[in-house]
Chains A and B, each alone.
Chain A
């Protein structure tokens, strides 16, 4: 068990002139027993940051602490960590049992009997007791994944590191293993870092998310906090599927003039906007509603481009036309609603669901409204992180 502290860590690859900054001055505290998910698009530096914690890469600047010790100078073998790799990295020439006992043989003084006992109990925990004598090549992807997890838990390490462990599995198995890893982490209560580019995994698995882009920390917080209180436009667009719709517009006397429609700002919004001339208005597809005819001034006309029926809901891709510009956005509607390509509809943006972002920096300047209970619950969640 250990807490992890990442202190002003920067990683540059290559020569100083044309170096690539993979991780840019990231600081982070991870509590003992916490499940933290590093999430971001490819090239965001999330894997590099984890590999720095593992000791497989050395940071250019900054310190990494595991427990109370600074581990900058320690190799992976001295850090008491276990790692699960995207391609599982099972030793192909060893049986499952040998794979699982390899770490114990290398890093502990345990007797053969003790090792066998530990491996057997870990194998039972992962439900792979039957496979102990098989070679990895004889196993299915899902079984290999279980062996890789088993190899990690058998070590009883201070920290689990998981680098996109589910991305090679099919969708059904992935959902199953997601639950399994969650259960495992709860049972073992070991500090866990988990890297993924999949925002569903991030939302459903993590106690906290660490959202990265271009090596820079975007936001650290609980999944719901990041979803409802995104600190900037990148986070808002990254979490949620389909992504939040963004409308750029000029602010003219309390009105945002976006392509295709005007949006009247509420008083609260106006005070957040202040003297800015340009803002980005963000609203999630599930928060917008479609009407057959205009009722209020907040609605605007749009034409249906594509309909994606998902069953209980449909995603409607819409185009709002004005002055030759076309702005495409997505609205989620009831799956039973009859709607087809070419229909003209009226789109309503409810005031309480609107986020506003600074057009230049992307920083959030106005957060959506939440129900009172939700607001209190979220604030309570946010406390420990402060």
Chain B
């Protein structure tokens, strides 16, 4: 690069751009691009948050009021609405339970698929994935009928099972890849060291797989947390998830923009808290399977 540029410079006989200037331009361009991108990503979030802090009636006025006196009126309304608090707590409990359950089922399943010679392993994996191949809208009515027959309609247990069915294939596939990347010699070393096969799994492999487990946990949490369609069809009063409650602000004649924005903002909070809590594990987890260098 450098020699080429020098050659061009000497050929044209002009030095209208020196090295320092060029570096400055590169820096400026780079930052401009990054800032623009950040703006594109963050502006909707800002819009949502600011909308939630506007007094009723002005939330969606045109032209938008860029400068306004923030008010927590919408949030107070929300908290005083027992329906919202109930749905929020309901969702937290159901989604958390589903994440625990999906890990309890999916992680051991992935481990077995990774470590043992299972006949038709490939087919089993595809079969597990096939549970997510149909669009949700195509299976929601069968779900409804099955839930009604099994008395799971509008129950928290039913919702937990439904969330598990959404996330199980993801957990199995990602964790299998993750376990594949953990050398089998680790367990062999543990067995030679006097551990049983089960201790080898719990004391050596599972801790090594922590980044992967936390990654699938947060992804499963988010998928279940934002789920709307199944909640809409499979619940009525008892097991209503928070997404459904937020959806209720979109009325047939009017939309309560302020309340909608406040509820949506509140919905982001648990996800952010979860993310911060497991953040240190995620960096390694998202580069699946490369935890241990050979």
Interface residues of A in 85-143 (CB under 8 A from B): 85-87, 89-94, 102-103, 106-108
Instruction: Write 29 A-B pairs (CB below 8 A) sorted by A numbering.
Output: A54-B192, A56-B188, A76-B188, A76-B191, A77-B193, A77-B196, A83-B188, A85-B185, A85-B189, A87-B183, A87-B294, A89-B185, A89-B186, A89-B189, A90-B189, A91-B186, A91-B207, A92-B291, A92-B292, A93-B207, A93-B208, A93-B210, A103-B193, A103-B194, A106-B199, A107-B194, A108-B194, A151-B193, A155-B193
For residue A20, give the distance in angstroms from its CB to the closest CB of chain B. Answer: 15
B204 touches A91 (CB 8 A): yes
For residue B191, give the distance in angstroms from its CB to the closest CB of chain A. Answer: 5
- Counting from the closest, the 3 A-B pairs by CB-CB distance are A107-B194, A103-B193, A106-B194
B192 touches A77 (CB 8 A): yes
Q: Which residue of A lies closest to B199 (CB)?
A: A106
A87 touches B194 (CB 8 A): no
Q: Which residue of A lies closest to B193 (CB)?
A: A103
Q: Which residue of B lies closest to A157 (CB)?
A: B192
Number of A-B contacts (CB under 8 A): 69
Q: What is the bound-complex CA distance between A323 and B271, given in angstroms?
A: 81
Most chain A CB atoms below 10 A, which of B185, B189, B210? B189
Interface residues of B in 204-219 (CB under 8 A from A): 204, 207-208, 210
A56 touches B292 (CB 8 A): no
For residue B278, give the distance in angstroms from its CB to the closest CB of chain A. Answer: 15
Residue B195 interfacial (CB < 8 Å): yes
State which of B183, B207, B210, B291 has its C-beta within 8 Å of the C-beta of A89: B183
For residue A343, give the distance in angstroms from its CB to the closest CB of chain B. Answer: 43
Residue A75 interfacial (CB < 8 Å): yes
Residue A210 interfacial (CB < 8 Å): no
A107 touches B208 (CB 8 A): no
Contacts known (A89-B183, A92-B208, A93-B207); A83 close to B194, Cβ less than 8 A = no
Residue A302 interfacial (CB < 8 Å): no
Chain A, 139-164, contact with B by CB distance < 8 Å: what is the 0/1 string?
Answer: 00000000000010001000001000
Could you tell me which A residues sit within 8 Å of B by CB distance? 54-56, 75-77, 81-83, 85-87, 89-94, 102-103, 106-108, 151, 155, 161
Contacts of A90 in B (CB 8 A): 189
Contacts of A55 in B (CB 8 A): 191
B191 touches A77 (CB 8 A): yes
A77 touches B183 (CB 8 A): no
Say whether chain B's binding surface is mostly helix, strand, loop, or mixed.
Answer: helix
Q: What is the bound-complex CA distance between A85 and B183, given in angstroms?
A: 11
Assuming A102-B195, A102-B203, A151-B193, what are 14 further A-B pairs, CB within 8 angstroms?
A: A76-B188, A77-B191, A77-B196, A82-B193, A85-B185, A89-B189, A90-B189, A91-B207, A92-B207, A92-B292, A93-B208, A103-B192, A103-B194, A106-B199
Contacts known (A87-B183, A87-B185, A87-B294); A76 close to B208, Cβ less than 8 A = no
Contacts of A76 in B (CB 8 A): 188, 191-192
Q: What is the bound-complex CA distance between A54 and B188, given in angstroms?
A: 10
B188 touches A75 (CB 8 A): no
Q: How many residues of B contact A (CB 8 A)?
A: 21
Q: What is the bound-complex CA distance between A151 and B193, given in angstroms?
A: 9
Q: What is the bound-complex CA distance between A90 and B208, given in angstroms?
A: 11
Contacts of A86 in B (CB 8 A): 185
State which of A85, A102, A103 has its C-beta within 8 Å of the C-beta of B188: A85
Q: What is the bound-complex CA distance between A103 and B190, given in angstroms?
A: 7
Q: What is the bound-complex CA distance between A54 and B185, given in angstroms?
A: 12
Most chain B CB atoms below 10 A, which of A90, A106, A155? A106
Contacts of B199 in A (CB 8 A): 106
Contacts known (A91-B208, A93-B207); A77 close to B195, Cβ less than 8 A = yes
Contacts of B186 in A (CB 8 A): 89, 91-92
For residue A56, give the distance in angstroms from its CB to the closest CB of chain B. Answer: 5
Q: What is the bound-complex CA distance between A304 and B23, given in angstroms?
A: 56
B204 touches A81 (CB 8 A): no
Q: What is the bound-complex CA distance between A85 and B189, given in angstroms?
A: 8
Interface residues of B in 262-294 (CB under 8 A from A): 291-292, 294
Contacts of B183 in A (CB 8 A): 87, 89
For residue B109, give the distance in angstroms from its CB to the closest CB of chain A. Answer: 22
Q: Which residue of B lies closest to A136 (CB)?
A: B292
Contacts of A85 in B (CB 8 A): 185, 188-189
Chain B, 123-142, contact with A by CB distance < 8 Å: what is the 0/1 string?
Answer: 00000000000000000000
Q: What is the bound-complex CA distance between A82 and B188, given in angstroms?
A: 11
Q: Which residue of A lies closest to B206 (CB)?
A: A93
Q: Which residue of A lies closest to B291 (CB)?
A: A92
For residue A282, give the distance in angstroms from its CB to the closest CB of chain B. Answer: 38
State which of A56, A92, A93, A102 has its C-beta within 8 Å of the C-beta of B193: A102
For residue A102, give the distance in angstroms from its CB to the closest CB of chain B. Answer: 5
Q: What is the bound-complex CA distance between A76 and B196, given in angstroms?
A: 9
Contacts of A94 in B (CB 8 A): 207
Q: What is the bound-complex CA distance between A85 and B292, given in angstroms?
A: 14
Q: What is the bound-complex CA distance between A89 and B187, given in angstroms?
A: 8
For residue B80, give the distance in angstroms from its CB to the closest CB of chain A. Answer: 47
Q: Which residue of B lies closest to A100 (CB)?
A: B193
Q: What is the bound-complex CA distance between A151 and B208, given in angstroms?
A: 18
Contacts of B203 in A (CB 8 A): 102
Q: What is the bound-complex CA distance between A360 and B118, given in angstroms?
A: 43
Q: What is the bound-complex CA distance between A194 and B28, given in angstroms?
A: 60
Q: What is the bound-complex CA distance between A107 and B189, given in angstroms?
A: 13
Most chain A CB atoms below 10 A, which of B186, B199, B291? B186
Contacts of B185 in A (CB 8 A): 85-87, 89
Contacts known (A83-B188, A91-B208); A106 close to B291, Cβ less than 8 A = no
Contacts of A161 in B (CB 8 A): 192
Q: What is the bound-complex CA distance between A187 and B199, given in angstroms?
A: 33
Interface residues of B in 138-197 (CB under 8 A from A): 183, 185-186, 188-196
Contacts of B291 in A (CB 8 A): 92
Contacts known (A77-B195, A107-B193, A155-B193); A89 close to B294, Cβ less than 8 A = no
Contacts of B194 in A (CB 8 A): 77, 103, 106-108
Q: What is the bound-complex CA distance between A91 and B291, given in angstroms?
A: 12
